[in-house]
Structure 1
Amino acid sequence: MPDLHEEFKNSRFFHEARIDRRSVDALIGIAAGLTADESINQKEAVFLKRWIENNLTHLNDPIVNILYRRLDDMLSDGILDPEESEELLSLLKQFTGTSEEASMPFSAPTSLPLNYPPPIVAWREQTFILTGTMAYGPRKHCEALITERGGRIGASISKKVNFLIIGSIGNEQWMHTSYGLKIKKAVELREAGTPIAIISEEHWQRTLFG
């Protein structure tokens, strides 16, 4: 009996990588549709998680895995709260931000106005704001690491903020994204003499974990 699986694999009409690429392109299209109204609700998040489970979890692709793990964590308690909804919207907008390029949707942010050399990060009585998408995990987990060490989480960029931490996952068009507005405001304050430090997630993690 012929091995139909091998026959398909060897067929010029069957190309697994191309099928996977189509699935990733479909995911980008779905993400673009979900973010079109500038909001993500729980029903949409559940739909997206199930779609990835049914179509893409076999890829073992780091980009898809990040998105899936975030969705799984956000929905683990059965509720997508407003903060998680905002983070998911930002994550999906980044995912679709470079969809016309041949490279992966996510890339490391470039040309960021980080403090150089990176400053010593103090914790107690210092105010932090996180922006962008953190590779470490959901924003609420990152914020918990700060508050456990005596730091505070700010509500918005102001003269009272000591550190702005930029997540490692972004795209090269950061100046045109919502999180880029926070960076721009922090740069303006820094140039005006406010002692606010703009640091990378990598530097933040080194300070935490050595």
Structure 2
Amino acid sequence: MVDLHEEFENSRFYHQARIDRRSADALLGIAAGLTADSSINQQEAEFLKSWIEQHLAHLDDPVINLLYRRLADMLSDGVLDADESTELLDVLQQFTGVPNSSVRPFAAPTTLPLNNPAPVLDWSERVYLFTGAMAFGPRKECEALVLERGGLIGGSVSKKVHYLVVGSVGNEQWLHSSYGTKIKKAVEIREAGGGIAIVSEEHWQRAVFG
């Protein structure tokens, strides 16, 4: 099971003696600039990928590697589609700590309104929706695992969705993040008696991989 939380906590990206601090700070600044208008286009994604390759690839840092792998996966077919653009925006906003820059990037989401106890996840004809950045990999790969097991993928938060899976690469300021609107709507449906359950990526991974 993929769990990058400990790697993020111990990341050399934050170790003054092991990195080029100026380049690291520059990456945070670039990411903040790219997300300032709450959208990411293909030209911006290609620029960021190229910049990391030129300035930070040598660090072999898990945080940077995660960001780079997502960029490479999204651009592998030469097109950054709308879903990938939204996912990349999520990742970069979490990386920069937007909107609160004092929050450390990739903080584990400790205040998420997850169902407690977490429900047993069924697959057949159950509708899943993913939000936030998944530690397992690109959202499309997560969706494929659901489809392989007989589940369905929802287009937006609604009463028809059974499970909202929140990516592990989260931020404690989820309510103010771009993916927080999905969680907020899911909470409203749940509190009104709807059947939607909000679960963590960790719980979803255990159901997938055992």
Q: State the TM-score, normalized to the length of structure 1.
A: 0.87
Separation of aligned partners in 1, 2:56 and 2:111: 32
SS at match of 1:38: coil
Q: CA deviation at 1:100?
A: 3.5
Does residue 87 of structure 2 align to residue 76 of structure 1? no
Q: CA deviation at 1:21?
A: 2.0
Q: What is the aligned partner in structure 1 of residue 145 from structure 2? A: 145
Q: Which structure would you say has the larger RCO, counting Cα contacts within 8 Å and 6 or more residues apart?
A: 2
Q: What is the aligned partner in structure 2 of residue 181 from structure 1? A: 181
Q: What is the aligned partner in structure 1 of residue 67 from structure 2? A: 67
Q: CA deviation at 1:18?
A: 7.6
Q: CA deviation at 1:17?
A: 3.5
The aligned length equals 194
SS at match of 1:141: helix
Does residue 164 of structure 2 align to residue 164 of structure 1? yes
Q: What is the aligned partner in structure 1 of residue 117 from structure 2? A: 117
Q: What is the aligned partner in structure 2 of residue 127 from structure 1? A: 127
Separation of aligned partners in 1, 2:155 and 2:200: 19
Q: What is the aligned partner in structure 1 of residue 11 from structure 2? A: none
Let me know the Cα RMSD of the aligned residues: 1.6
Q: CA deviation at 1:104?
A: 4.2
Q: CA deviation at 1:186?
A: 1.0
Separation of aligned partners in 2, 1:59 and 1:42: 25
The one-letter amino acid paired with 1:127 is: V
Q: CA deviation at 1:172?
A: 1.0
In the superposition, relative to structure 1, how do residues 18 and 145 fare at CA in structure 2: closer, same or farther (>3 Å)? closer
The one-letter amino acid paired with 1:47 is: F
Runs of 4 or more, structure 1, over 6 Å off, are: none
Does residue 45 of structure 2 align to residue 54 of structure 1? no
Q: What is the aligned partner in structure 1 of residue 101 from structure 2? A: 100
Separation of aligned partners in 2, 1:193 and 1:25: 46
Separation of aligned partners in 2, 1:33 and 1:48: 11
Question: Does structure 1 conserve the Cα–Cα contact (< 8 Å) formed by 2:129 and 2:155?
Answer: yes
Larger Rg belongs to: 1
- Percent sequence identity over matched residues? 68
SS at match of 1:178: coil
The one-letter amino acid paired with 2:101 is: E
SS at match of 1:207: helix
In the superposition, relative to structure 1, how do residues 59 and 206 fare at CA in structure 2: closer, same or farther (>3 Å)? same
Separation of aligned partners in 1, 2:17 and 2:74: 30
The one-letter amino acid paired with 1:161 is: V
Q: CA deviation at 1:182?
A: 1.0
In the superposition, relative to structure 1, how do residues 118 and 43 fare at CA in structure 2: closer, same or farther (>3 Å)? same
Q: What is the aligned partner in structure 2 of residue 4 from structure 1? A: none
Q: CA deviation at 1:168?
A: 0.1
**Unmatched 5+ stretches in structure 1:** 1-15
Q: State the TM-score, normalized to the length of structure 2.
A: 0.87
Q: CA deviation at 1:19?
A: 5.7
The one-letter amino acid paired with 2:177 is: T
Separation of aligned partners in 1, 2:86 and 2:185: 20
